[in-house]
Amino acid sequence: MSNNKKRLTAAAHVWANEWQHLEGRQLLETVINGPLAGRVAVSSSFGAESAVLLDMVAGIDRTIPVIFIDTGRLFAETLGYRDRLTAHLGLRDVRTVKADEKSINDADPNGDLYLSNPDACCNVRKVIPNASEVSGFDVIITGRKSFHGGERSNLLTAERSGWQIKLNPLAHWSQTRIEETFLLRQLPRHPLVDSGYRSIGCSTCTHKAAAKAGVRAGRWCGQQKTECGIHTIALA
Ligand code: SF4
């Protein structure tokens, strides 16, 4: 571990504890303009609810890097929405990150790894390329919310993740508050939301979810898997 990372690890403990008492825009402003200014990035899937966080970030600083992982298996609608929302919000540094072709061909020569070993598929298409990109930042902002359930149920607004800090400004927001913000801010919706998709990842592993089911019920249906790993695996 480099000296910079060691220093951050010590300070991160203090900052993460302080920042846990903040949320939403107040938390974002504190961190984006705080001691780690310039070392902060956003992780976004440009999914069903992503516009709320991105709108808030854009209202503070449109130049903050936004990291978007393109697995090669995304819905065409997601790629179109990324471009439309980027233009709508005036985001200036959206970075589309992909695994290199050789890594994918080596790990998944037949293109069906998602059926036999989805963790390995997420690892090569998402976790590894994401780790390479986010390792250049000290704070990663996510749009995760505790009402999504599962491993997100006890989410904090700021948490240590290895030597980094994960910031979850919407951790304690309700679904109603998200919907109200879409209306209030007149934010464009992902086109698949109207078709019944409530959480949107790869087309091969995403299904529509009933209104009464959990928001993420349509992800990896019928499997124990609930997370791709980009937010749950800490950098060493
Ligand atoms: S969500 Fe499915 S297709 Fe996408 S990377 Fe994970 S296992 Fe592979």
Q: What is the mean pLDDT of the chain?
A: 91
Summarize pLDDT for 155-195 with one digit per residue, the tens. Answer: 999 998 888 899 999 999 999 999 999 999 999 999 999 99
Tell me whether residue 205 is in a domain.
no
Annotation marks residue 121 as catalytic: no
Q: Give tens-digit pLDDT for 32-49.
A: 999 889 999 999 999 999
Q: Is residue 94 part of a domain?
A: yes
Closest ligand 1 atom, CA of 126? Answer: 5
215: in domain: no
Going by C-alpha positions, the residue among 168, 150, 170, 151 that lies closest to residue 159 is 168
Q: Give residue 202 CA to ligand 1 midpoint distance, Å.
A: 6
Asked if residue 184 is part of any domain, the answer here is yes
Task: Using the mean position of ligand 1's atoms as its centre, give its distance from the Cα of residue 233 in Å.
Answer: 16
Mutational test site, ligand 1, from 113, 205, 231, max ligand atoms within 8 Å of CB? 205
CB of 114 closer than 6 A to ligand 1?
Answer: yes
By the 8 A CB rule, do 175 and 88 touch? no
Residue 26 lies in a domain: yes
Percentage of the chain modeled with pLDDT above 70: 94
Domain that holds residue 119: 3-191
Residue to substitute in 110, 207, 228 for testing ligand 1 pocket (most ligand atoms within 8 angstroms of CB):
228
Mutate to test the pocket of ligand 1, among 45, 69, 70, 73 (most ligand atoms within 8 A of CB): 73
Ramachandran sector of residue 165 (left: φ over 0; alpha: ψ -120 to 50; beta: rest): beta
User: What letter represents residue 142's amino acid?
Assistant: T
Task: Check pocket membership of 201 for ligand 1, CB cut-off 6 A.
Answer: yes
Residue 10 CA to ligand 1 center (angstroms) comes to 35
Pairing relationship of beta strands 164-167 and 40-43 according to DSSP bridges? unpaired
CATH code for the domain in which residue 91 is found: 3.40.50.620
Q: What percent of the chain has pLDDT over 90?
A: 69
Q: Nearest C-alpha to atom 1 of ligand 1 is from which residue? A: 202
Q: Is residue 197 part of a domain?
A: no
Going residue by residue through the chain, which has 236 residues, state the pLDDT in tens, using 9 for 90 and above: 666 666 666 677 778 888 989 999 999 999 999 988 999 999 999 999 999 999 999 999 999 999 999 999 999 999 999 999 999 999 999 999 999 999 999 999 999 999 999 999 999 999 999 999 999 999 999 999 998 888 888 999 999 888 889 999 999 999 999 999 999 999 999 999 999 888 899 999 988 887 777 777 777 677 887 878 888 767 76
For residue 51, what pLDDT is reported? 98
What's the confidence (pLDDT) of residue 35?
87
Specify if 111 maps to a domain: yes
Give the atom of ligand 1 at the shortest distance from the alpha carbon of 201: 1
- Please report whether residue 231 resides in a domain: no
Domain count, the chain: 1
Q: Is 200 in the pocket of ligand 1 (CB under 6 A)?
A: no
Question: What residues have CB less than 8 Å from 41, skipping those under 6 apart?
Answer: 64, 65, 66, 67, 134, 136, 137, 139, 140, 141
